[in-house]
A and B are shown apart, each in its own frame.
Chain A
Amino acid sequence: MAFWTILLIIHGLLAVALLGAITHQAVSVWMPVRSKAGNFVTRFRAVPSTSYVMAIIVLYVVTFVMGAWIYTQYRFTSRLALEQLRFFKTVGVFEMKEHVATIGMILLPAYWAFWRQPLSEDYAAARKNVTLLLAIIVWANFLVGHIANNARGFGS
């Protein structure tokens, strides 16, 4: 059980890094700063968004693979307990998490293509939209993972 708990913690930490990177990029691409960086919020928006692309892709893939691995353990331990406790809503949102994570994964090739250098003006809108959708997906999955873990985390 310690092995899976460590894996889950690493999965969570990677998710935090991914969350930070994608949020930074989404904010910088949707609310770019026009003047010199000033306060914290402006500096948050002023990051060079292109530099995040590969980090986001790698973090997403690694977090996804780890999540898919932990899922095998969740399926016959935590989930069975959740069902016995009649926590159907928790099971339901976790089922949704697997679908949302998959959809996020399949956006990555297009996300990478739209962010390739030199940035094409043809894909400016698509770039912004895919980045935002990916950010929403990462946030949703992060929160759902948190809820499921709080309901019946490993070792509980």
Chain B
Amino acid sequence: MMASSKLAVFTVVFGVAYAVIYVISTEVNLPLLTYHPVIGDVDFLWTPERRGPAMYWYGWMLTSLIGALALGWIASAVPEPWVQRVILFVCLAAVAYLLFYTLALFIYDKATVELEFLKSRSLSVVAALVVAAAISFFAPAKWNQRLWPGWVCVVPIGALAVLAYYLTPYFTR
């Protein structure tokens, strides 16, 4: 089986990494710069609004761009199976975390006794990492031979789902 071209590996990892870093940047609010449209000022990193709203979108994009370029470059330099393995692991962990945390909150909600520990995110994170590691370890070898180009669609769609979820307050008030 032929390896994927370095260009394809770079572009796929760039897209995947950008989507993930962008979601983190927006939710944790990590802009590389802040733009104040009323006064036309640009500040480095996050700054609060002054005389009008502050815009962080450009900063989030720059943060994600730098991170994605770095990861894309690293990915095109390391063996392809490693890249595939890392992306598979991260995606499995993300899906497992979502399932575990939803399940934990559901059980907490329905339980007749107080199970406060179920509300802890770290418990779900640890469980998700263990499950993702186990599945990655036992995954058939052929899954990890080449980088799956479909990641460049799957991960951004997942990122959009998360971003849409965080915008639900706009639709429920």
A contact residues vs B (CB 8 Å cutoff): 68, 71-73, 75-76, 79-80, 88-89, 91-93, 95-96, 98-100, 102-103, 106-107, 109-110, 112-114, 116, 122-123, 125-126, 129-130, 133
Contacts and interface: CB of A to CB of B under 8 A. Distances in A.
Interface string B45-85: 00000001101011001001000100000000000000000
Contact of A126 (B55, B68, B149): B149
Given A73-B37, A126-B149, 11 more contacts: A68-B58, A72-B35, A75-B37, A76-B37, A89-B170, A92-B169, A106-B19, A110-B12, A113-B11, A123-B149, A126-B150
A126 B35 CA distance: 36
Contacts of A100: 160
12 contacts: A68-B58, A76-B38, A76-B53, A91-B170, A92-B170, A93-B170, A96-B167, A106-B15, A107-B153, A113-B8, A126-B150, A129-B150
Secondary structure of the A contact surface, majority rule = helix
A110 B52 contact: no
A48 B140 CA distance: 39
A89 B172 CA distance: 8
Contacts of A71: 55, 57
Secondary structure of the B contact surface, majority rule = helix
A102 B153 CA distance: 14
B interface bracket (residues with beta carbon within 8 Å of A): 35 or more
A100 B163 CA distance: 9
Nearest to B37: A72
B140 to A, nearest CB: 19
Nearest to A128: B153
A96 B163 contact: yes
B164 A107 contact: no
A85 B73 CA distance: 47
Nearest to A113: B11
Interface string B1-31: 0101101101110110011001000100000
